[in-house]
């Protein structure tokens, strides 16, 4: 029997919402031959047993083969499943008793989902094919002959992340990359992580080494000098508009007498 734990380890915040398998109607054509192999020998049990040991071996072989075929068909049907969780889709493709392929798709990468019902049989028995487009290319995943595909589509759409949402690790990388691009020349020499990423100017290293050797009193004087220089620089920037306006006013006053003399 199929167990989710064999193919998927749920996270702490993750829940299983649905297990989607092929419609049970798809079992009948495959089980037909197995059923015949099991049932038909009982109608010929007396003629077969009259043959003695060969007849008994034929009877037992037919029944055993039918039972094995039926178990294999049911196990494959039970193991071919689409697992819908609150975070991802996991398709389990069981192609044999020892052959299994697993595909995992985060819900945030699902771009589009649709379903189609073809023919009279699928319309009557509410059976169809679900098509899931995911990734940037995008890739296509088809789950065929499932029951009530419209319900599965609604469930996945309800669980999907909003359009354009990226996984958390990608969003973190984008935020960090954007911060670095906005300040390409800014180097934090006090941070060992950023110092490892960017090369520090040798002059800055020399200055930092010299400052580290100074006593506390000298460092206080240097800090005071730096703050006074910064304040004077800010004062010059604040006074620039006033000086410009004053200079323009002087030029306008010089032009006025010339205009009156012409009149």
Q: Is the pLDDT of residue 158 over 50?
A: yes
Arithmetic mean of pLDDT, 4-9: 82
pLDDT at 241: 54
Burial class (CB in 10 A: 0-12, 13-18, 19+), 93: middle
C-alpha pair distances (Å), 64 with each of 41, 58, 77, 98: 11, 10, 20, 21
Burial profile 41-79: b = 16 or more Cβ within 10 angstroms, e = fewer: beeeeeebeeeeeebeeebeebbeebeebbeebeebbeb
Which sequence spans correspond to the domains of the chain?
1-22+80-170, 24-79, 202-254
Assess if CATH 3.80.10.10 describes domain 1-22+80-170: no
Nearest to 151 by CA among 128, 132, 123: 128
Task: Encode pLDDT of 109-157 as tens digits.
Answer: 898 999 999 888 888 999 999 999 988 777 888 999 999 999 999 999 9
Nearest to 115 by CA among 147, 90, 86: 147
Task: Encode pLDDT of 220-233 as tens digits.
Answer: 777 777 777 777 66
Residues 198/189, Cβ–Cβ less than 8 Å: no
Per-residue confidence band for 212, with pLDDT thresholds at 50, 70 and 90: confident
SS3 of residue 6 by DSSP: helix
pLDDT at 254: 46
Distance CA 112, CA 247 (A): 65
Helix 53-79 × helix 27-43 angle, to 10°? 160
Q: Which two tokens stand for residue 65?
A: 């083969």
Rounded to the nearest integer, the mean pLDDT of the chain is 76
């Amino acid at each position: 029997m199929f167990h989710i734990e064999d193919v998927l380890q749920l996270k702490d915040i993750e829940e299983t919402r649905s297990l989607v398998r092929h419609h049970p109607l798809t079992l009948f054509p495959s089980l037909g031959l197995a059923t015949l192999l099991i049932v038909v020998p009982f109608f010929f049990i007396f003629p077969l047993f009259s043959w003695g040991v060969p007849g008994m071996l034929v009877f037992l072989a037919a029944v055993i083969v039918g039972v094995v075929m039926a178990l294999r068909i049911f196990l494959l049907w039970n193991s071919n499943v689409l697992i819908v969780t609150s975070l991802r889709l996991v398709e389990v493709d069981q192609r044999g008793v020892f052959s299994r392929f697993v595909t995992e798709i985060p819900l945030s990468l699902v771009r589009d989902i649709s379903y189609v019902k073809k023919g009279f049989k699928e319309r009557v028995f509410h059976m169809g094919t679900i098509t899931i487009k995911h990734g940037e290319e995008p890739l296509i995943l088809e789950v065929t002959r499932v029951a009530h595909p419209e319900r599965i589509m609604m469930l996945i759409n309800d669980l999907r992340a909003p359009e354009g949402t990226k996984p958390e690790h990608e969003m973190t990388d984008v935020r960090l990359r954007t911060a670095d691009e906005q300040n390409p020349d800014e180097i934090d020499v006090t941070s060992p992580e950023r110092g490892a990423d960017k090369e520090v100017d040798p002059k800055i290293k020399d200055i930092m080494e010299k400052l580290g050797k100074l006593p506390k009193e000298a460092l206080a004087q240097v800090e005071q000098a730096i703050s006074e220089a910064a304040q004077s620089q800010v004062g010059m920037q604040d006074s620039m508009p006033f000086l410009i306006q004053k200079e323009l006013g002087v030029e306008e006053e010089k032009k006025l007498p010339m205009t009156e003399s012409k009149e």
